[in-house]
């Protein structure tokens, strides 16, 4: 089992709709979870961090965390063509030092 | 407020050569982590430097080594390059090596191509 798994995609969503991205992780002691957005040919950009169970909202983005189910998700409301990118789920694992373990990413396309 | 800066942006090498990549962390950050991202994959953790020491290492061979300087900048060295080392190399900086709630911020990366 991979440490962090994301739905493989690609995911295609019409403009203005809600995009839902999912991620599961295997390490029960993980405490920090991050979503990064990566445009083609660019580096990952941090868009959300979440540390506690429940929802965290920032503008059009909502991150949801359920530690009991080892599940984290990202919702993008009112999707825009500029949201088209690969979204990476990252889980923080601390073994003396913090390292991020990434999923393989989900490619999202917003169709005008 | 300067973000994470990496150099060079692109590099072409041949098999067997050695390469050095450089990273300056975001202002106020003291920890540097290096990742390798192959095409179509998520970044893979190489190692992390804090207080000029390697604090943790991922599943990479000893051909991959690094260094952190007193000003917190860092270098990644790769010896005896293989075709499989072709990838985007990402540097990420953060505050504190083991603080779970400190996000890592990435530089633009160095794209390394091995011929």
Which residues, in sequence order, are CB contacts of B53 under 8 Å at separation 6+? B68
pLDDT at B110: 97
Chain B residues with CB-CB distance to A45 below 8 A: 106
Question: Between chains, do A98 and B99 touch, taking CB under 8 Å as contact?
Answer: yes
Chain A residues with CB-CB distance to B107 below 8 A: 43
Q: What average pLDDT is seen over chain A?
A: 93
Chain A residues with CB-CB distance to B105 below 8 A: 46
pLDDT at A94: 80
Phi, psi of B111 (to 5 degrees): -90, 115
Which residues, in sequence order, are CB contacts of B7 under 8 Å at separation 6+? B21, B22, B110
Instruction: Please say if the pLDDT value at position A22 is more than 90.
Output: yes
Question: Between chains, do B88 and A36 touch, taking CB under 8 Å as contact?
Answer: no
Which residues, in sequence order, are CB contacts of B71 under 8 Å at separation 6+? none
Q: What is the pLDDT of residues A71-94, one digit of tens each?
A: 999 999 999 999 999 999 999 988
Q: What is the pLDDT of residues B87-102, one digit of tens each?
A: 999 999 999 867 767 8
Cis preceding-peptide flag for A10 (omega within 30 of 0): yes
pLDDT at A19: 97
Average pLDDT, integer, range B4-10: 96
Cis preceding-peptide flag for B8 (omega within 30 of 0): yes
Q: What is the pLDDT of residues B54-77, one digit of tens each?
A: 999 999 999 999 999 999 999 999
DSSP per residue, B18-42: -EEEEEEPPTT--EEEEEEE-TTS-
Confidence band, pLDDT 50/70/90 cuts, at residue A7: confident
pLDDT at B1: 62
- The CB-based long-range contact list for B6-10 (8 Å cut-off, 24+ gap) reads B6/B89, B6/B90, B6/B91, B6/B107, B6/B108, B6/B109, B6/B110, B7/B110, B8/B110, B9/B108, B9/B109, B9/B110, B9/B111, B10/B110, B10/B111, B10/B113
Instruction: Please say if the pLDDT value at position A2 is more than 80.
Output: no
pLDDT at B93: 96
Average pLDDT, integer, range B16-32: 96
């Amino acid at each position: 089992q991979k440490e962090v798994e994301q739905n493989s995609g690609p995911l295609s969503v019409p403009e203005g709709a809600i995009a839902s991205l999912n991620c599961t992780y295997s390490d029960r002691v993980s405490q920090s979870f991050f979503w990064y957005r990566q445009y083609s040919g660019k580096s990952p950009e941090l868009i959300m961090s979440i540390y506690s169970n429940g929802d965290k909202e920032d503008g059009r983005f909502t991150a949801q965390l359920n530690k009991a189910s080892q599940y984290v998700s990202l919702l993008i409301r009112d999707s825009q063509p500029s949201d088209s990118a690969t979204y990476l789920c990252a889980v923080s694992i601390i073994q003396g030092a913090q390292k991020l373990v990434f999923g393989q990413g989900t490619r999202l396309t917003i169709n005008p | 407020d300067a973000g994470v800066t990496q150099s060079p942006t692109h590099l072409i090498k041949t098999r067997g050569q050695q390469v050095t990549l450089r990273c300056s962390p975001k202002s106020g950050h003291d920890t540097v982590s290096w990742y390798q991202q192959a095409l179509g994959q998520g970044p893979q953790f190489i190692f992390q430097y804090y207080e000029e020491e390697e604090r943790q290492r991922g599943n990479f061979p000893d051909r991959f080594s690094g260094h952190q300087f007193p000003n917190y900048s860092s270098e990644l060295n790769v010896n005896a390059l293989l075709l499989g080392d072709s990838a985007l190399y990402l540097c990420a900086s953060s505050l504190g090596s083991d603080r779970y709630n400190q996000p890592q911020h990435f530089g633009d990366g160095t794209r390394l191509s091995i011929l």
